[in-house]
Amino acid sequence: MAVLVGKKAPLFEADAVVNGGEFAEKFSLEQYIGKKHVIFFFYPLDFTFVCPTEILAFQEKAEEFDKRNVAIVGCSIDSKFSHWAWLNTPVDKGGIAGVKFPIVSDLSKTIAENYDVLAGEYDYNEEGEMEFEGEAVAYRGLFLIDKQGIVRHQVVNDQPLGRSVDEALRMVDALQYFEEHGEVCPADWHKGDDAMQATAEGVASYLGKKHAH
């Protein structure tokens, strides 16, 4: 598994569905560089079971991400037509109607490959024929990308394990606090908590206050 933290987020141009039902060609994360932070997340497949819970949870917190000037972008290996159909299926019928953030179609699986979240790989068998080993879908990868296009946080879950949208929001808060104040955020930090200077004295001061009786 590649660690992309500290590196440029792999860019791409791909089909996507935006605004809950509009097709967009050559959708790219490049449009956000210099303007917004980005939460870019992968999920395995449309019309499944854990995936809609995550996608709808991101939509429920969309206003909180928007307040922080953060774009949410989803991606799976399904076609844009599958995305469109799912977006036009009511929630009580297993759909994700009401979701407005972009959902990218990675039909070629190259985006998942470049982010190293594809749950399988191509290899040659004993007959010299190429075949795919594993599942040709993405793990639940999530990448927090800053305004310069650099990955600052990533987490990758196996398919049965749904992510925490609140944790993604917490990481946005931590990154933006650091960018604004230059102070680092300790364990379990939440917006409004004390941060600390990245020095021995700063750590000692923070721990002294935290554990004072």
Cite the active site residues. 51
Structure-token pair, residue 102 = 């972009």
- Closest CA relative to residue 139, chosen from 122, 154, 111, 159: 159
β-strands 22-27, 14-18: how paired?
antiparallel
Residue found by looking up tokens 């917490």 in the block: 170
Using CA atoms, how far apart are residues 62 and 69, in angstroms rounded to an integer? 10
Burial group, residue 27, by CB count within 10 angstroms (0-12, 13-18, 19+):
buried
What are the distances in angstroms from CA 178 to CA 6, 32, 105, 169, 171?
A: 15, 20, 33, 14, 11
169-202 burial: b if 16+ Cβ within 10 Å, else e: bbbbbbbbbeeeeebbbeeebeeeeebbeeeeee
| SS3 at position 111 | helix
